[in-house]
Structure 1
Amino acid sequence: MKNHWNEIQPVDHYTVCTNGLLQEFERKIITFLYQPLIGPVSYSLYMSLWGEVEESRLWSAPSNHYHLMNILSMNLQEIHEARMKLEGIGLLKTYAKKGEGERSFIYELQPPLLPNDFFTDGMLNVYLFRKIGRSHYLRLKESFTDRGMESDSFTNVTRSFQDVFSSENSIDFLRHEANDGSLTNEEKAYIGYGKNEGPPMDDIDFDFSLLLNGLSESMVPRRAFTPVVKETILKLSYLYGIGPLQMKNILLGSLDSDEAIDVEQLRKSARDWYQLQTGDELPDLTPKARPVKKEASKPLSREEELLEYLESTSPKDVLADISNGSAASNSDLQVVEEIIMTQKLPLPVINVLIQYVLLKTDMKLTKGYMEKIASHWARKKVSTAGEAMELAKNEHKQYMEWASGKNEKRTTRRKPIRTEKLPDWFQEDEKGEAKSQNGETYDLEAEKRKLEEELKNFRK
């Protein structure tokens, strides 16, 4: 599975829009009906995105994901996982566009299902019932209902438009002008209210052809499979784990006298089938587990292990690992943040840069030196940790000159004596020997052994 930063980076821009106006009533629905299903993190993300859109407007100003990480106090992985939950439950649609060296997103907030649609959804209401229990579920349902109109004892005496207003002869001429003036161009749309279509469901996991092959036209007419019926079948199949063969028998018991499928009876039959299989326990809504990585046929080399670590770890955690688990300082994080923002390098490349600079500058995150190398890598369009490692090997002598030039200006009265430190993935020559500035050689393998302690956290 792809790491989240293969899909999204902190510097990537996003704009929030809403599918119609969102009001306080929608906030109440999301708080009490959706939050138990998606959790507080996804709820906070939705409300934060909503807050970026001004009242009675549909679009926000553009921003980047660093802003979102700061206001939510979350890392990018948490935000990405929260976003996927919102997408899965039907509260968010995401649109992406990739340009030259950058990506941009549109996050379209969807209004929640109205209470009547939610409590009769057949899937979300079951998950909510399982999550909060019967008593609280009924209390919530009561809070979203009110007394209906007593239409039986009253007569509708409302007058029509024609009873109240009269039309002048010039109305035909004005109608054409009014219609022309009411049209909008392709870039504009009237502000109004949107509608939630429910959680997006696909039929990848359900074989409709197998179901229909088991049902002849005389048993169940094909016209009975309306879009509503098909959507209900998909939801029930996912909710209760019902396959096409079991669904056939459930459908046969849900036909009414007009040879149409009664959706309510279909739901009841599916629920009875599930409880007969498992008892009275209802299904629970849980996020899909990440696929377990298959073990490699052969063990990874030390460089491959390090490469995998750099590709799957955030810069903040890399700094913490180098410090034996201690949190990185604010100044170091600020330096890294500025490099990411100005040079727009991918996070795995930033990880290689952090490791290289720290080992070259006696574990000091020197901003100027780091910026110079980052600028070089940005011009070279380095996009992966492997490419960054290879470039660091090829340009090592140049980087040594940059570092030594800086040191000579500060220590002109004293001859610099230092030991050249190199990352595990670095090999200067095939013989395992490197030369210091004064031309003396030393055992690179011995230096590597010294660095094993410093890099042991990298390989864990």
Structure 2
Amino acid sequence: MEPHWKEIIPGDQYIVAIDGQQNLGDAKVLTLLYQPLIGPVCISLYFTLINQVENGRLQTEPVSHYYLMNLLDLNLPQIYEARQKLEAIGLMETYVKEDEDLRSFIYTMKPPLSPQQFFTDGLLNIYLYQKVGREYYNRLKLTFADQAIDKTGFDKVTKGFQEVFSSSHFPYHDQLEEDDMQVQYPSKEEPSPVTVQPLHFDFELFFAGLNDSVIPKQAITPEVKDVIAKLAFLYDIDVIQMKNILYSAINEQNQIDIEALRKAARDWYTIEHYSSLPKLVDRTQSPIYQSEIDVPKTQEEKMIQYFDTVSPRQVLADLSEGAQPLESDIRLIEEIMVKLNLTPGVVNVLIHYCMLRTDMKLTKSFVERIASHWSRKKVKTVKEAMELAKSEHRKYAEWQQQKDKKPTQRKATRTTRQEPIPDWLKNDAQTKQVEVDSNIDFEAEKKKLEERLKKYKK
């Protein structure tokens, strides 16, 4: 992902456009349903942009992003990140035109889903449920719903148009003329559901593996295909598993029951992941916290770029030579990210540092203690995490010694070895060698890790 300063600068002009008038209930939907998912900064940006369009108009005059920064009291990276989230969740579209010395944007604001669309979306409602919990999720549903009125026993007596009005046929001499001006009349735009691009799901392989005698290909309609792409993204389902899930959703008419398909995918996930539902978490480091490195030159810059652009799950897999990470390790990392509000890039540094220090294991108490320290220090970027690890290296070594030292070991004969440390930690002037009690060949383990990282880079 390109850093924000390559995509936008404060002097760039923008125009806000709308395709139709907003519904009075949209603000409530945005505040109560969308805000828990994307945060208050995104919602503030949405309202600020859309309120720049005057009543009866469909677009604004061009202004620079300096104006927007002053309105929101935010810096440009924060605005850029919020804009990307609004785009991803379907609340705005961005168009850009680049001239020789000027770059212009059009921000087309889109209406949110209706409450009915949102709660039956199959993607956003799952994330909302996980975010707010069962009790508040049901409260939110009741906030936007009411019991249907019972019309039993009532007769419809509504008059038709022709029963009330008649048409006059007086001579009309003037001709209705249309001019050449291209205009657009404000009207209520229908919201569109969030779509997931099926880039991560191999539909070609999926169709090749289907048995036509069980599931005919014509049963995979565009709607079914869209649901499959969403479920594959939401629950991280591969092609083979999706085929098995699909078999359980075919009905007697050889059609795919959408609701049965969603339920089967949800049931599969809860069994695989101990009854938990997926969380809406950034999978990689947000652009606002990424380092501005175009071409890394040093080993440290290469590691910074690596930690900035991969997910914690990927780091765990790379350090295990591609093996699937343990579920306990993933739960530990997810818990740290959510409870301590650490960014993915910082967590990547934490994983790399702790696994080297603890013989390629994630020791819960050791990881949590360092993570708590970084959270209190408000570490957000990869570089900050690496610098703090360098400056506090001796302290962390003492923490580990306190944990590893047992009463029966205090009088034992000590074997002194040099502790393995990451390459990016070696060259710092503040880093000193620390002696630890161990029977593990740390040098051999370090060489193994270096070989794994070389394979990943290739």
Q: 1:212, 1:187 → 2: CA distance?
A: 46
Partner amino acid, structure 2, of 1:30: L
Counterpart position of 1:357: none
Counterpart position of 1:142: 142
Partner amino acid, structure 2, of 1:91: L
Counterpart position of 1:37: 37
Counterpart position of 1:260: 255
1:177–1:136 Cα change, 3 Å: farther
Q: 2:298, 2:208 → 1: CA distance?
A: 48
Task: Calculate percent identity across the aligned residue pairs.
Answer: 43
Structure 1 residue 260: Cα displacement: 1.1
Structure 1 residue 67: Cα displacement: 0.7
Counterpart position of 1:8: 8
1:42–1:214 Cα change, 3 Å: same
Confirm whether residue 197 of structure 1 aligns to residue 197 of structure 2.
no
Confirm whether residue 228 of structure 1 aligns to residue 231 of structure 2.
no
Partner amino acid, structure 2, of 1:237: A
Partner amino acid, structure 2, of 1:257: E
TM-score, normalised relative to structure 1 = 0.60
Structure 1 residue 214: Cα displacement: 1.3
Q: 1:177, 1:150 → 2: CA distance?
A: 50
Q: 1:140, 1:168 → 2: CA distance?
A: 52
Q: 1:297, 1:39 → 2: CA distance?
A: 33
Structure 1 residue 296: Cα displacement: 8.0
Q: 1:75, 1:297 → 2: CA distance?
A: 26
8 Å contact kept, 2:69–2:76: yes
Deviations 1:149-192 (A, max 9, x none): 32333222222222223334579x89x966x65xx867311210
Counterpart position of 2:298: 299
Q: Matched residue of 1:49: which SS?
A: helix
Partner amino acid, structure 2, of 1:69: M
Counterpart position of 2:74: 74
The 5 A counterparts of 1:354-365 are none
Q: 2:5, 2:103 → 1: CA distance?
A: 12
Structure 1 residue 20: Cα displacement: 1.4
Which of 185, 188, 193 is the aligned partner of 2:183? 188
Confirm whether residue 284 of structure 1 aligns to residue 283 of structure 2.
no
Deviations 1:177-232 (A, max 9, x none): 66x65xx8673112101122122321111111111111133222222222221111
Q: 1:65, 1:261 → 2: CA distance?
A: 48
Structure 1 residue 52: Cα displacement: 0.6
Structure 1 residue runs without a partner (length 5+): 309-460
Counterpart position of 1:335: none
Partner amino acid, structure 1, of 2:123: M
After superposing on structure 2, the runs of 4+ consecutive aligned residues of structure 1 that deviate more than 6 Å are: 291-297
8 Å contact kept, 1:237–1:243: yes
Structure 1 residue 139: Cα displacement: 0.7
Q: 1:300, 1:229 → 2: CA distance?
A: 47
The 5 A counterparts of 1:30-179 are 30-168=30-168
Q: Matched residue of 1:193: which SS?
A: coil
1:295–1:38 Cα change, 3 Å: closer
Q: Matched residue of 1:152: which SS?
A: coil
Q: Matched residue of 2:185: which SS?
A: coil
8 Å contact kept, 1:21–1:192: yes
Q: Matched residue of 2:125: which SS?
A: helix
Counterpart position of 1:269: 264
Q: Matched residue of 2:199: which SS?
A: coil
8 Å contact kept, 2:96–2:103: yes
1:150–1:87 Cα change, 3 Å: same
Q: Matched residue of 1:187: which SS?
A: coil
Counterpart position of 1:430: none
Structure 1 residue 243: Cα displacement: 1.2
Q: 1:56, 1:137 → 2: CA distance?
A: 36
Q: Matched residue of 1:272: which SS?
A: helix
Structure 1 residue 88: Cα displacement: 0.5
What's the RMSD between the two structures over aligned residues?
2.9
8 Å contact kept, 2:195–2:226: no
Q: 1:124, 1:165 → 2: CA distance?
A: 47
Structure 1 residue 298: Cα displacement: 5.8
Q: 1:138, 1:283 → 2: CA distance?
A: 18
Deviations 1:301-344 (A, max 9, x none): 9xx99xx9xxxxxxxxxxxxxxxxxxxxxxxxxxxxxxxxxxxx
1:161–1:297 Cα change, 3 Å: closer
Q: 1:20, 1:8 → 2: CA distance?
A: 27
8 Å contact kept, 2:206–2:243: yes
Partner amino acid, structure 2, of 1:62: P
Q: Matched residue of 1:106: which SS?
A: strand
8 Å contact kept, 1:21–1:57: no
8 Å contact kept, 2:201–2:229: yes
Structure 1 residue 133: Cα displacement: 1.0
Partner amino acid, structure 2, of 1:233: I
Structure 1 residue 295: Cα displacement: 12
Structure exhibiting the larger radius of gyration computed from Cα positions: 1
Q: 2:210, 2:3 → 1: CA distance?
A: 44
8 Å contact kept, 1:19–1:111: no
8 Å contact kept, 1:12–1:64: yes
The 5 A counterparts of 1:336-351 are none
Partner amino acid, structure 2, of 1:246: Q
Structure 1 residue 58: Cα displacement: 1.9
Counterpart position of 2:442: none
1:186–1:153 Cα change, 3 Å: farther
Structure 1 residue 265: Cα displacement: 0.7
8 Å contact kept, 1:37–1:128: yes
TM-score, normalised relative to structure 2 = 0.61
Q: 1:295, 1:93 → 2: CA distance?
A: 27
1:148–1:297 Cα change, 3 Å: closer
Structure 1 residue 147: Cα displacement: 2.8
8 Å contact kept, 1:14–1:64: yes
8 Å contact kept, 1:52–1:61: no
How many residue pairs get matched? Answer: 299
Counterpart position of 1:24: 24
Structure 1 residue 23: Cα displacement: 3.2
